[in-house]
Amino acid sequence: MSPKLISSREANRRWARRITLAVVTTVMLSGCAPETMKVLPEQSLGKPETNNGCPQQTRNDIENRILAQIDALGRRSFNEALDHASLAFRKSIDTRSFEAMITSGFPILLDNAAVSFGRCQEFGDRAMIEVSFKGQPSEGLIYSLGLADSQWWIEAAAPMSDIFPSQEELKEL
């Protein structure tokens, strides 16, 4: 049996579906991080990126949004966690469905594990950042966020792959 060839367009669609699922999950996980939550030093879990990344203020805003959602999820405050999602995401899901999605697909977000932020890329009003969890390197996520009303909002989260998406891949989404 010969291997099936996959077109780059089909591969991009698969990647987009993964990112969309991840963003939806991420939105539900935002919240204010308690002082007891530890943030590990920044580290990259994959190959170095050659892009300029995110300006420090953007990185700070994105990390704070994600930590806030993760804190809310750790307290099982799904409604509050959902408040960190983009308006489009909030309109597409109710709190019960969001809870079910997080509980079944992203249980690591409920553990209040220490997190580490990796590479960040900003593309105008869109950004992506790597998030890993202490003791669970294989359960890292890539968060996708959108800028609205001068604030970053979680749009999706997806399991981290070996390769962080390039600018070209992100533009095709």
CB within 8 A of 165, min separation 6: which ones? Answer: 15, 19, 121, 128, 142
Residue 169 lies in a domain: no
Residue 167 lies in a domain: no
Which pair of tokens denotes residue 82?
Answer: 């959902």
Identify the burial level of 46 via C-beta atoms within 10 angstroms of its C-beta, where 0-12 means exposed, 13-18 middle and 19 or more buried: middle
CA–CA separation, 149 vs 166, rounded Å? 26
Residue 7's pLDDT is what? 46
What percentage of the chain exceeds 70 in pLDDT?
61
Residue 44's pLDDT is what? 39
Residue with tokens 């580490």: 116
CB within 8 A of 24, min separation 6: which ones? Answer: 85, 89, 92, 93, 98, 101, 155, 156, 157
CB within 8 A of 105, min separation 6: which ones? Answer: 21, 25
CA–CA separation, 115 vs 131, rounded Å? 7
Could you tell me the pLDDT band of residue 54, with boundaries at 50, 70 and 90? Answer: very high
| CATH number of 117's domain | 3.10.450
Residue 168 lies in a domain: no
Identify the burial level of 17 via C-beta atoms within 10 angstroms of its C-beta, where 0-12 means exposed, 13-18 middle and 19 or more buried: exposed
DSSP letter (8 states) at residue 61 = H
Query: What pLDDT digit, counting tens, does each position of 105-155 carry?
Result: 899 899 878 999 999 999 999 999 999 988 776 678 999 999 999 999 999
Question: Do the bridges between strand 151-159 and strand 136-148 make them parallel or antiparallel, or are there none, so unpaired?
Answer: antiparallel
Identify the burial level of 127 via C-beta atoms within 10 angstroms of its C-beta, where 0-12 means exposed, 13-18 middle and 19 or more buried: buried
Domain boundaries, position 82: 10-35+50-162
Query: What pLDDT digit, counting tens, does each position of 89-101 carry?
Result: 999 999 999 999 9
Residue 136's pLDDT is what? 73
Residue 154 lies in a domain: yes
Residue 12's pLDDT is what? 47
Residue 21's pLDDT is what? 43
What percentage of the chain exceeds 90 in pLDDT?
51
Residue 41 lies in a domain: no
Residue 44 lies in a domain: no
pTM: 0.65
Number of domains in the chain: 1
